[in-house]
Amino acid sequence: MKKTLLTAIVMVLAGASVPVLGGAQGTGTTQVTPPAQGQAQGQGRRGGPPPTPEQIAENERRARLRGEYSRYRANNDLLYYHLDVRIDPATKLVTGKNTIRFRMLGDDTRIQLDLYANLNVDRIVQGTTELKYSRDANTVYVDFPSTLKSGSVQSIDFFYSGTPTQTGRFGGFVFGKDPAGRDWIYTACEGEGAAIWWPNKDQWRDEVENMDLSVSIPSALTDASNGRFVRKTDLGDGFTRWDWKINYPINNYNVSVNIAAYQHWQEKVGDVTMDFYVLPEDVERAKPQYAQAKGMMETFEHFFGEYPFVKDGYKLIHVPYTGMEHQSAVTYGNGFQNGYGGGNRDWTGVGISLKFDFIVVHESGHEWFGNAVSAADASDMWIQEGWCTYLEGLYVERMYGLADAIKYLNGYKPKIQNQMPIVRERGLHRTPSGNDQYFKAALMLNTLRSVVNDDRKWMKLLRDTYDTFKYKNSMTEDIVAFFNKQTGMNLAPIFYQYLRHTAIPVLELEFDAAAGTVRYRWKVDEASFTMPVRVGSENAWQTITPTTEWQTMKTTQSKESFMAETSRYFVNVNKSEG
């Protein structure tokens, strides 16, 4: 464990709203001001000398400071933020305050908040009382002059200022320019954390119940943020304040500003307002592509019911990086082309990806799994990414049929690495390494569908899972327990084989041609693993239920012709002669 940890820490915090592409990563003609790499505090620098043991230890300490649900986080429950910021591209300064309201869950005198070390804490006040604080890396401990009683509701104003860091795969916080030289300012900080640009309780377990967001920017520009647009106010000094109301719980990293010379139009699907933002030069290119969002909305509403953030509406907002699931303000940078990665790239290589725009479908799918249903710890991030990848499959199934969906999901197989378990140590903020949390987890769900072996039950199970976990932050164990309860089966060993180990199940088959038999068992890491699987031949599958112990069945088939239905069960098959 120790060794894998060391290598992992340096590659951690890139952020991962979308899987990493192999090869070119351009997103079309509007890709400008690519983010600088590796500037964030306390993180490994790509391409530089390898980190020293001291740096590695410090990185781990910081990942824990950030990822652990420590005493000073667990002693309170977030209720509300009002983030009120002025963003000035001329000085590259962000100035403002976050009003943080929380309920104490125990008696205490201190809470833990987060703000990157390069940003100034101007002052922290409660009413008229200035509060003491101390800083440790990107953490800010706030101390109160007397004990805050359990159950009491507290409110503080955290004033700050500075120039946020541009870093990581999507930029963190970027003061950029569009191709015409106008300001294009945006945030995308899932890996780095929201504290890269504003003070908050920066962890995954606890979310505010709702939030106000006020963004003051030069009056010629438009801000597209999360939530429902309330009003804009001319401040009389060349700046205009845009007020947004977020009516639902929201992950910190989803809170975003997208500031540009946007043009904007609105459409509707049922009761859901759909607002589209794009640079003026790209409106004509964007319109047919953005139209796919309506089919996306109808499709996911078919499977999971009403869009989770109806009061806030849905937005699709043009940005210069690939895309991100910012809640009710999905950002898009896929070059107004189908596939993923620009240039009409069939990135799964099985002839399906070019039928739709990956970023529209994947990032918007996160509204259901990722934003409504959310993981409580970064180690459980497959709940967002594996499920959302499976939703791509559901989209294909609804649009083009089940056969295409199975083909599409199996198209992900070559991208699976099986080198590191998907779910690892908790309380250590770190994006699960590689893409297995996307593709392997999606193929695990595809496998579980075959185990449930009843499509009506399966679709109901998906819907019930969504309904049960929406607006909550959950752990892998919660999902597994729910699946067990709903199906009456013990699916835990199957989940954990895929999530907690590197190897996928191997179906061992040992043929005895003379006796006309085949012995079979699973080779797995999970004790008490048992899983049915369809074997035989294409048009005459029969279901067997191997365990980890040998069983024997009759077969008239040869070793060569005997198969397992590996498109529906993500397993390897190992054949031998006894």
Q: Binding to Zn ion (CB under 5 A): which residues in 347-406?
A: 385, 388
Size, binding site for Zn ion by CB under 5 A: 3
Closest distance of CB 373 from Zn ion, Å: 13
Nearer to Zn ion, 388 or 509 (CB): 388
Nearer to Zn ion, 17 or 292 (CB): 17
Closest distance of CB 493 from Zn ion, Å: 27
Nearer to Zn ion, 186 or 382 (CB): 382
Nearer to Zn ion, 435 or 497 (CB): 435
Nearer to Zn ion, 365 or 546 (CB): 365
User: What letter would DSSP give residue 369?
Assistant: B
Nearer to Zn ion, 114 or 325 (CB): 325
Sorted by sequence, the CB contacts under 8 Å of residue 298 that are 6+ apart come out as 269
Q: Which of 17, 30, 76, 348 binds Zn ion (CB under 5 A)?
A: 17
- Contact status: 322 vs Zn ion (CB under 5 A): no
DSSP secondary structure letters along 389-452: HHHHHHHHHHHH-HHHHHHHHHTTGGG---SS-SS--SSS--PPSSSHHHHHHHHHHHHHHHHH
Nearer to Zn ion, 274 or 388 (CB): 388
> Which H or E run contains 82?
strand 76-88
d(CA 381, CA 362) in angstroms, rounded, equals 15
HSE, CB side, 13 Å, CA atoms: give it for residue 188.
Answer: 34
Closest distance of CB 178 from Zn ion, Å: 25
Closest distance of CB 287 from Zn ion, Å: 25
Closest distance of CB 19 from Zn ion, Å: 7
Sorted by sequence, the CB contacts under 8 Å of residue 279 that are 6+ apart come out as 30, 178, 179, 180, 184, 260, 261, 262, 263, 318
Of 9-17, 146-154, 229-237, 457-465: span binding Zn ion (CB under 5 A)? 9-17
Closest distance of CB 199 from Zn ion, Å: 26
How many other C-beta atoms can be found within 10 angstroms of the C-beta atom of residue 130?
A: 11
d(CA 305, CA 467) in angstroms, rounded, equals 9
Of 12-20, 142-150, 482-490, 570-578: span binding Zn ion (CB under 5 A)? 12-20
How many other C-beta atoms can be found within 10 angstroms of the C-beta atom of residue 425?
A: 16
Closest distance of CB 400 from Zn ion, Å: 21
d(CA 17, CA 293) in angstroms, rounded, equals 18
What the block records as the tokens of 424 is 């690892």
The label of the residue with tokens 């893409």 reads 435
Residue nearest to Zn ion (CB): 17
Closest distance of CB 388 from Zn ion, Å: 5
Closest distance of CB 18 from Zn ion, Å: 5
Nearer to Zn ion, 206 or 385 (CB): 385
Binding mask 548-567 for Zn ion (x = CB under 5 A): --------------------
Nearer to Zn ion, 156 or 330 (CB): 330
Nearer to Zn ion, 325 or 397 (CB): 325
Closest distance of CB 10 from Zn ion, Å: 23
Strand order of the β-sheet with 563-564 is: 540-544, 533-537, 563-564
| 174 within 8 A of 185, measured Cβ to Cβ | yes
Calculate the CA dihedral of residues 274, 277, 283, 286 and round it to 10 degrees.
Answer: -60
Nearer to Zn ion, 211 or 388 (CB): 388
Closest distance of CB 232 from Zn ion, Å: 31
Nearer to Zn ion, 342 or 505 (CB): 342
Of 14-22, 306-314, 335-343, 518-526: span binding Zn ion (CB under 5 A)? 14-22
| 28 within 8 A of 339, measured Cβ to Cβ | no
DSSP secondary structure letters along 475-488: -HHHHHHHHHHHHS
Closest distance of CB 370 from Zn ion, Å: 6
Q: Binding to Zn ion (CB under 5 A): which residues in 178-207?
A: none
The 10 Å CB-count burial string (b at 16+, else e) for 106-122 is eebeebbbbbbbebebe
| 410 within 8 A of 380, measured Cβ to Cβ | no
Which residue from 319, 323, 89, 324 is spatially nearest to 221, judged by alpha carbons? 89
Closest distance of CB 174 from Zn ion, Å: 20
Q: Phi/psi at 102 (nearest 5 deg)?
A: -150, 160
| 208 within 8 A of 80, measured Cβ to Cβ | yes
Nearer to Zn ion, 18 or 85 (CB): 18
Closest distance of CB 22 from Zn ion, Å: 17
The 10 Å CB-count burial string (b at 16+, else e) for 141-174 is ebebeeebeeeeebebbbbbebbbbbbbbbbbbb
Nearer to Zn ion, 72 or 369 (CB): 369
Binding site for Zn ion (CB under 5 A): 17, 385, 388
